[in-house]
């Protein structure tokens, strides 16, 4: 089944939602953006370029690897093609350390994965559209589900550095939305119960938590962490929430997985730094990659 540009726009307007069960890949024909200020036309242009560079007529599942997750990429599968994000319309190389800015086309079983090694963060100062562009491009390329990973500070008592946590819900504290206009998308079950159940079937030790997305780039204060804990937050980071909303608005199934790379401010013995985040990712890379590989095969 293919999705035309008009259908892509209709899904956006209606806040299309993915429910239960698997769906077919939605392949997207090449589209030339006549106005690059239109984010949906730009996503179609990027998906057409992606098809040209990878030789694949579409992709089934998208994976976005966050800070500290890059070493896990090789565990997911051997790429047939790897390109720079800046080779695709609307993309720029991510500015955060640990985000390599590569896009891989990876065959896994009967599926083709679109693996993004990095993302654009809101704190990089490019606005909201580049943050959502990767997910929009993935859906335009046919991806029926988007797997979002991130590095997070652990807030809930008992969380350990190196622990993977399934995102069951989020609180968007960026004060922004990737959606505009009368686009009233239901986020009640934003993070797929089906995919979380599959993940727990693979690793029964996985816990769930509520993730709070803040704008960054500074880490939170101890007082802010106490506030977040009072609100019922278990994990805190600087990404994911806007991408998840974007994916849901386009009808894709959403899965979120955080890697606890540090204990949040006021809970750790030393100062917070980004190198700590990257090191936790390196240590946990093999486990995270194997988990994702198994989940993607089953999804």
- Asked if residue 67 belongs to a known ligand binding site, the reply is yes
Residue 259: how many CA atoms within 13 Å on its side-chain side? Answer: 30
Supply 239's token pair: 């990404």
Supply 247's token pair: 């994916």
- Asked if residue 120 belongs to a known ligand binding site, the reply is yes
Selecting among 9, 87, 123, 294, the annotated active-site residue is 123
Selecting among 99, 199, 252, 258, the annotated active-site residue is 99
- Asked if residue 151 belongs to a known ligand binding site, the reply is yes
- Asked if residue 133 belongs to a known ligand binding site, the reply is no
- Asked if residue 262 belongs to a known ligand binding site, the reply is yes
Residue 239 designated active-site? yes
Selecting among 47, 105, 192, 239, the annotated active-site residue is 239
Residue 207 designated active-site? no
Residue 123 designated active-site? yes
Helix (H, G, I), strand (E, B) or coil at 68: coil
Residue 218 designated active-site? no
Selecting among 48, 152, 238, 247, the annotated active-site residue is 238
Selecting among 72, 151, 264, 285, the annotated active-site residue is 151
- Asked if residue 265 belongs to a known ligand binding site, the reply is no
Contact between 160 and 154 under an 8 Å Cβ cutoff? The reply is yes
Residue 121 designated active-site? yes
Q: Please report the beta strands in the chain, taking only residues with DSSP state E, as ranges in sequence order.
A: 61-65, 81-84, 102-108, 111-117, 145-154, 164-172, 207-213, 235-237, 253-263
Give the whole-angstrom CA distance, residue 132 versus residue 247.
Answer: 9
- Asked if residue 239 belongs to a known ligand binding site, the reply is yes
Supply 233's token pair: 């937050």
Residue 151 designated active-site? yes
Query: Which segments are annotated as binding site for phosphate?
Result: 67, 99, 119-121, 151, 220, 239
The residues assigned a catalytic role are 67, 99, 121, 123-124, 151, 238-239, 262, 274
Query: Which segments are annotated as binding site for a purine D-ribonucleoside?
Result: 262
């Amino acid at each position: 089944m293919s999705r035309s540009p008009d259908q892509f726009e209709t899904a956006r307007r209606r806040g299309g939602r993915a429910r239960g069960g698997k769906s077919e890949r939605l392949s997207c024909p090449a589209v030339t953006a006549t106005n690059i200020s239109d984010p949906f036309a730009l996503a179609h242009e990027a998906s057409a370029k992606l098809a040209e560079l990878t030789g694949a007529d579409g992709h089934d599942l998208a994976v976005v690897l966050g800070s500290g997750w890059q070493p896990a990429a090789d565990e997911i599968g051997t790429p047939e093609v790897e390109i720079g994000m800046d080779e695709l319309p609307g993309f720029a190389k991510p500015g955060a350390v640990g985000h390599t800015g590569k896009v891989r086309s990876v065959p896994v079983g009967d599926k083709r994965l679109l693996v993004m090694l990095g993302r654009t963060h809101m704190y990089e100062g490019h606005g909201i559209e580049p943050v959502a562009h990767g997910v929009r491009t993935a859906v335009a390329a046919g991806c029926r589900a988007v797997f979002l990973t991130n590095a997070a500070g652990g807030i809930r008592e008992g969380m350990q550095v190196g622990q993977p946590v399934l995102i069951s819900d989020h609180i968007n504290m960026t004060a922004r939305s990737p959606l505009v206009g009368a686009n009233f998308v239901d986020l009640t079950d934003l993070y797929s119960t089906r995919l979380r159940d599959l993940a727990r079937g693979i690793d029964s030790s996985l816990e769930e938590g509520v993730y709070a997305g803040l704008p960054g780039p500074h880490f939170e204060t101890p007082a802010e962490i106490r506030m977040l804990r009072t609100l019922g937050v278990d994990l805190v980071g600087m990404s994911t929430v806007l991408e998840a909303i974007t994916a849901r608005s386009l009808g894709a199934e959403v899965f979120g997985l955080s890697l606890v790379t540090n204990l949040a401010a006021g809970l750790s013995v030393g100062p917070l730094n980004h190198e700590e985040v990257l090191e936790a990712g390196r240590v946990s890379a093999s486990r995270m990659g194997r988990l994702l590989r198994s989940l993607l095969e089953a999804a």
